[in-house]
Structure 1
Amino acid sequence: MTGSPQPMPLGRLQQVVLVVIAVALAIGLLFMRGGIQSETPMEQLARRSVEPEVALTNGKPTLIEFYADWCQVCREMAPAMLELERSTQNRLDVVLVNVDNPRWQDLVNRYEVNGIPQLNLFSADGQPRGKSIGLRKLEELTAISAALINDQPLPQFRGVGSVSSLEGESTLQASVAQTGPRSHS
């Protein structure tokens, strides 16, 4: 019977060459993606982040960043946030809260997060000091953190504002709780 020719099995040398090429490609891909620790700065921050409740009660000023994985500005700001977290260790808590995680919906509502990245700034005693919305460069983040650490007024940057107590705050909070910050009814 004359059928189609059978493929020749690979020789030992050809098999070794293919394995070497496959290993070289795998190593190349590993290094192109950032090496063995291929976590992005945002993933590193989120993994190392202190729980918000702990941060607000441990006697250190706190910066809570509300972010989302899909947010390009959040990803752009992440290396500066990681550098800030590293440079202020033991003096400032940097906390990341993913707005897409249902676990944090109560915080998203409580702090009226309507845009990201949003930074909520707290004094060492856990009291709100201010809010920042939008992209922040390392220099701005450093100035904000220095003000928090040294209990000084926040720097005057566009998109950074102070937070003050309101008379009748409990009535306001009850109203917000019923309608929610994103409600349009």
Structure 2
Amino acid sequence: MLSFVGAGLVVGRPRKVTTNRACRVRMSEERELTVQEKMAKALGRDVEQEKKRFELDVERVAVEGRVELRQKLAKALFGVFLGVAFYLGEKYTFGNPITLLHGMEQLSPTYEVAVSNAKPTVLEFYADWCESCKKMAPKVSKLETEFAGSVNFVVMNGENPDYRELLQKYRVDGVPHFALLGADGKLQTTLIGKIPMSVLEDDLNALVNGEELPYIGFDIEELPY
């Protein structure tokens, strides 16, 4: 061995370091294993199968999450979609007004809920064969969107026997038939036929603000409660 102490350098034959080959291989394998693979191996399971099962679980959760999100978005946007799509449809001949009326009816609160939640209410009675009902549907839907949260819109098919009592109570003998109720659930006026939407809108604004209705239909004193 040569030694240069003064220069701070020692030169000599390097020591031979021996490492067991099996240990080196085992260490290399352990470094390459992921946490999931180590757990699978410790439990005596096939590593590749566990990896595939894990990937499938991740994909399943992702798919279920997307489906749930789509369902929530669909419910939230369904009402807005109906109003906007068919309102535009009136101008651009897109959509079916009967489908719009049916959709509005399905989204309507029940009569019992409407007359007890301290909000003004519009009861609209229609029929599938009524041309005026179909022509007015997009405009009524637009009003429903504008007064959302302030006015209940309860849309009912006058040919449905489930509404027979309400048809008699509000003396519905023609459609479209609009019965406007105050926040107390009492009838304020009735408007029948293809009325201008400005008439309905002005009456609704008056109901919301607690003012006298500018447009009055039949004599409400004759109607029973």
How would you bin the TM-score normalised by the shorter chain? Answer: 0.5 to 0.7
**Paired residues, number:** 134
2:203 to 144, 155, 160: 144
Please name the residue that 2:188 is paired with. Answer: 129
Contact 2:97 2:135 (8 Å CA) reproduced: no
Contact 1:67 1:98 (8 Å CA) reproduced: yes
Q: CA deviation at 1:165?
A: 6.8
Q: CA deviation at 1:80?
A: 1.0
Give yes or no for the alignment of 1:66 onto 2:125: yes
2:220 to 163, 172, 184: 163
- Structure that is richer in helix per residue: 2
Q: CA deviation at 1:100?
A: 0.6
What are the superposed Cα offsets for residues 133-175 of structure 1, whole Å, 9 maximum, x if unpaired? 1112322221121111112122236xx2452378xx6xxx8xx
RMSD: 2.5
One-letter code aligned to 1:149: V
One-letter code aligned to 1:164: E
Q: Distance between the aligned counterparts of 1:117 and 1:38, measured in 2?
A: 14
Please name the residue that 1:42 is paired with. Answer: 101
1:94 to 137, 140, 153: 153
One-letter code aligned to 2:124: E
One-letter code aligned to 1:132: L
Give yes or no for the alignment of 1:114 onto 2:180: no
Runs (5+) with no aligned partner, structure 1:
1-31, 174-185
Please name the residue that 1:52 is paired with. Answer: 111
One-letter code aligned to 1:128: L
Q: Does 1 or 2 have the higher relative contact order (CA < 8 Å, sep 6+)?
A: 1
**Is the alpha carbon distance of 1:130 and 1:139 closer, same or farther for their aligned partners in structure 2, counting shifts above 3 Å?**
same
Please name the residue that 1:9 is paired with. Answer: none
Please name the residue that 1:15 is paired with. Answer: none
Please name the residue that 2:25 is paired with. Answer: none
Contact 1:77 1:137 (8 Å CA) reproduced: no
One-letter code aligned to 1:146: N
How many percent identity over aligned positions?
Answer: 34
TM-score, scaled relative to structure 1: 0.65
Runs (5+) with no aligned partner, structure 2:
1-91
TM-score, scaled relative to structure 2: 0.54
